Copies of this chain bind each other. A is one copy, B any other.
Amino acid sequence: MAGNTFGNLFKLSTFGESHGAAIGGVLDGCPPGIELDLEEIQNELNRRKPGQSAIVTQRKEPDTVEFLSGIFEGKTTGTPIGFAIHNTNQKSGDYTHIKDSYRPSHADYVYDQKYGFRDYRGGGRSSARETASRVVAGAIAKQFLSGLKINAYVSQVGGLKMDKTYHELDFSLIESNPVRCPDPDMAAKMEDHIKDIRKEGDTIGGVISCVIQNVPIGLGEPVFDKLHAELGKAMLSINAVKGFEYGSGFKGVTMKGSAHNDAYNTDGTTKTNFSGGIQGGISNGMDIYFNVAFKPVATVIQPYETIDKEGNRVTTKGKGRHDPCVVPRAVPIVEAMAALVMADYFLLARAINS
Q: Footprint of B on A, CB under 8 Å? A: 1-6, 8-9, 11, 13-17, 20-26, 28-29, 31-33, 66-70, 72, 75, 77-82, 84, 102, 104-107, 109-111, 113-119, 124-126, 130, 156, 158-159, 197, 200, 202-207, 217-218, 221-226, 228-230, 232-234, 236-237, 239, 242-250, 252-258, 260-268, 270, 274-276, 279-284, 291, 293-300, 302, 304-307, 311-313, 347-354
Contact = CB atoms under 8 A, between A and B. Distances in A.
18 contacts: A2-B225, A5-B224, A15-B69, A77-B124, A77-B125, A105-B262, A110-B217, A125-B223, A205-B255, A207-B253, A232-B233, A243-B246, A253-B294, A257-B298, A258-B300, A258-B304, A260-B298, A263-B306
A117 B13 contact: no
A223 B298 contact: no
A223 B279 contact: no
Contacts of A118: 72, 77
Given A114-B353, A126-B281, A158-B253, 10 more contacts: A1-B29, A3-B226, A14-B80, A31-B353, A110-B280, A202-B256, A204-B257, A243-B243, A268-B307, A350-B351
B3 A224 contact: yes
Contact of A223 (B14, B32, B202): B14
B279 A20 contact: no
Given A224-B237, A260-B296, A114 B282 contact: yes
A253 B114 contact: no
Contacts of A72: 17, 20, 117-119, 124
Contacts of A352: 1-2, 9, 29, 31-32, 78, 347
Contact of A111 (B248, B280, B306, B351): B280
Contacts of A258: 202-203, 300, 302, 304
A258 to B, nearest CB: 5
Given A28-B13, A117-B77, A233-B232, A249 B253 contact: no
Nearest to A305: B263
Nearest to A280: B107
